[in-house]
Chains A and B, each alone.
Chain A
Amino acid sequence: MGGDLGTWTTILLDVLISASTVLILSFGLFLVYGLFRVVNMAHGELVMIGAYTAALAQRAGMGFFFCVLAAGCVSALVTLLMDFICVSRLRRQSTLFPLLATWGFSLVISQGVKLIFGSGGMYVDSPISSQVQIMGSQFATYQLALLAVAIVLVSCTWLVMAKSRFGLQIRATIDDPRLAELQGINTARLFSIVFALGGAFAGMSGALLAPISAINPNAGSDFSITSFMVLISGGLGHIGSAVFGSLVVGGLRSILGTFGSLTLATLGMLLVVALILVVRRRDEDLA
């Protein structure tokens, strides 16, 4: 019985660690899409920029915490530049235009990084290399720390959205942008802030995941596919949707990867995500 409990605990922790990694990765994308219905197709590339920034900052002798901060700042600046060039204007015309424009930016960023740094990869050393034993199984302390980061991230965002003036302004803008403007809320500036925050989260996630991921100019595509799966399976709006989507994608990846093959895990994730899309009545059901 004790052995069974240990096995189940290990599986549960594996699922939670995998889901937390996916949540950290996709949170910035989810934030912007959930609040303003804008899909940032360059999200994966912003994660990649964050990872490159962390690698360069670490090479320059900065501590890991400052590497994460620097990654967030650089990705936020790139996102603001995208917003300034066209996204802010396009989002008022259609939800598909920002999607296509940011897809163009994703290609510009990945090719730009390739031209500057070459096709070879970079690496970031993990700040914590120890392992801990839980119920007879070994877990990397760094991955458990990522689980804690994910919990803090969700809790803080919920608190900001539910309790702060900034969250109130965002909710008012989502409900009725015109009424919000009449109340003195600068909705365009609010979008720019949220869009930049999404970019900052993407950059920081790149720095946080860099010690356990491959970093190269094409890595953005791999980061994007996971994030988009979360977006499709989670649905719109509520922060719970992001957690649900991350549990589905991360959990399936962990379970199918453990008991089956990589092929099975990939195919299984796709089938379940498609099934959720078919079965769910409307996007708002999960909100």
Chain B
Amino acid sequence: MKTWPESIRITAVVALVVAAAAVGIVGPDYLKVVVVSALTFGLFAASVAISIDYAGVLSLGTAAYFAIGAYATALAQRNGWGYGSGVLAGSVTAGGLAAGLGAAGLTSRRTPIQYALLTLVVSLTLQQLAISSYDVTGGSNGLPGITAPSVFGTKLSLEAEYFVAIAVIFATFCGLYALMRTSFGKLLILSRDVPERTEALGHNVKSLKIFATGLNAIVAALCGSIFVTFNGIAYPGMFAALPNLLVIVWVAVGSGGGISGAFLSATILNLIEFELGSEYTDVYRLFIGGLLIYIVSAATPRFWRAATAKEG
């Protein structure tokens, strides 16, 4: 798989955001929901890329963080606790869960496979919990009817909500991009490639990896919060195996391109899925499964060398 130069990737990200702004001015309402959802998934994939591409930690259950953000925001909106408290609760819960899982699974005594499977099992278990805890989570139906947040008692219009969401997504992406270009980003790569030497330099590799997964979780929860306000529903399927697999495919397609590669691949693949429509969903997912097999098989030398370089 050929990787575009960084300058082209960043230009493409900026072009996407400008195009999204244009849709906000002249596009129909349904297209705004489609575009903001695709960009939300783009930011989600970028956060997962920090964990995989930079820290070398493969987690198979990152959709759980996204879903926790969505459920926390939906619950806050339904119970009148305020949109901000929902976003905060979602981020804190997701970050705490990632830290707990990292403390349990990111040790030299555990294999990367065990950590990866543990995160997936947690996500699937949370799905079962969301289905069985009907009184709180609405069971299989989820929590529908989530409306736009209010500012000083006034509900935001779709246009205003749209531009705020685009601004938050772009600002968060820029923040992550800038962070990965600092010495901290380089330290993450160092801990991925040569963990023993990083330890010898006085850095705690485990803490670095936990921080990266925690950051991934917090941003993913933020994405879930944005997603639920536009799509109006949080549902158990957000924890399922499929969204967990999809985000891995998005990151794999953008592999080698850092967080901008993941952002672009996720956004573009989601726009394609929306364009194809629901009648081709099954065929599209069949294609996505085949795409993952192809990327892992054909592009192996380049593919996540980081995540596999130091496995146990």
Contact = CB atoms under 8 A, between A and B. Distances in A.
Contacts of A278: 103-104
Interface string A112-137: 10110000000000000000000000
Contact of A115 (B241, B283, B304): B283
Contacts of A85: 293, 297
Contact of B125 (A231, A266, A282): A266
Interface in A25-82: 37, 39
A283 B117 contact: no
A165 interface: no
A221 B291 CA distance: 20
B113 to A, nearest CB: 6
B297 A101 contact: yes
A112 B290 CA distance: 11
Interface string B112-130: 1110111011101100110
B17 interface: no
Given A107-B292, A108-B289, A277 B248 contact: no
A261 B117 CA distance: 25
A96 B113 CA distance: 7
Contacts of A267: 125, 129
Contacts of A89: 297
A115 B125 contact: no
**Size category of the binding interface on chain A:** 35 or more
Interface in B173-197: none
A231 to B, nearest CB: 7
Contacts of A232: 114, 117-118, 121
A95 interface: yes
A286 B25 CA distance: 62
Interface stretch (A147-155, A197-205, A268-276): A268-276
B112 A96 contact: yes
A270 B125 contact: yes
- Of B58, B109, B117, the most chain A CB neighbours within 10 A belong to B117
B125 A103 contact: no
Interface in B216-238: none
B311 interface: yes
Given A108-B289, A225-B124, A267-B129, A39 B113 contact: yes
B308 interface: yes
Given A96-B58, A108-B286, A263-B132, A283 B114 contact: yes
Contact of B109 (A99, A224, A282): A282
B124 A104 contact: no
Interface string A191-225: 00000000000000000000000000000010011
A97 B129 CA distance: 30
A96 B116 contact: yes
A142 interface: no
Contact of B296 (A104, A224, A273): A104
A96 B311 contact: yes
A86 interface: yes
Nearest to B307: A96
A222 to B, nearest CB: 8
A221 B244 CA distance: 12
A214 B215 CA distance: 38
13 contacts: A85-B297, A97-B300, A99-B113, A101-B296, A103-B60, A103-B292, A104-B291, A104-B296, A108-B286, A108-B289, A111-B282, A221-B240, A277-B118
Given A229-B121, A266-B129, 19 more contacts: A90-B296, A93-B308, A95-B113, A96-B113, A96-B116, A100-B248, A104-B245, A104-B291, A107-B286, A221-B240, A225-B128, A228-B117, A232-B114, A262-B128, A263-B129, A263-B133, A266-B132, A267-B129, A281-B109
